[in-house]
Amino acid sequence: MAFKTKRANEPLTEADGARILIDRLWPRGQSKDKLQLTAWVKDIAPSTELRKWFNHDPPKFAEFRARYRAELDANPGAVAELQRLLKEHPNATLLYMAHDTEHCNAVVLSEYLREHAAGKRKRASA
């Protein structure tokens, strides 16, 4: 499963491939034409409660990671939808709006998707 992540307000490039928005809220100041989305998977984003609790506070990131991963585990439909999109579009970019590129949902989601893809490969070869 190959994909990239980048902030939604970064310039569109041909290398982006399929552009999939992974935030619950529409990116402020961005038009549909400018974003040129392939899909918007709102339900893969952290819950409103978790997002507000975290408030992009780096010292809370470890706890945010644990809570968001638990939400992903409890939301197999959204995970499956995103995995399907990534399978359909081998060249894809997951878009998010957080300013902090190291402490955000995109980091956790990327780890989660890659771990679960690796887990499926391990189970298939067992």
The predicted-structure confidence for 55-101, as pLDDT tens digits, reads as follows: 999 999 999 999 999 999 999 999 999 999 999 999 999 999 999 99
Rounded average pLDDT over 17-35: 94
Residue 70, number of CB atoms within 10 A of its CB: 11
Select the more confidently predicted residue: 20 or 122.
20
Residue 40 located in a structural domain: yes
Average pLDDT over the chain reads 93
> 79, 72 in Cβ contact below 8 A?
yes
The reported pTM is: 0.91
Q: Classify residue 91: in a domain, yes or no.
A: yes
Tracing tokens 């995103």 back to the chain, one arrives at 82
Q: 3-state SS of the chain: helix, strand, coil percent to 5?
A: 55, 15, 35
Q: Is residue 35 part of a domain?
A: yes
- Indicate whether 125 belongs to any domain: no
Strand boundaries in 1-126, DSSP class E: 3-7, 18-21, 39-40, 92-96
Closest CA to 81 of 35, 113, 119: 113
Total domains in the fold of the chain: 1
59 alpha carbon, distance to own chain's centre: 21
Asked if residue 34 belongs to a domain, the reply is yes
> Does the residue 21 lie in any domain?
yes
Residue 56 belongs to some domain of the structure = yes
Q: Is 61 part of any domain?
A: yes
Q: What is the pLDDT of residue 64?
A: 98
**Boundaries of domain holding 113:** 3-120
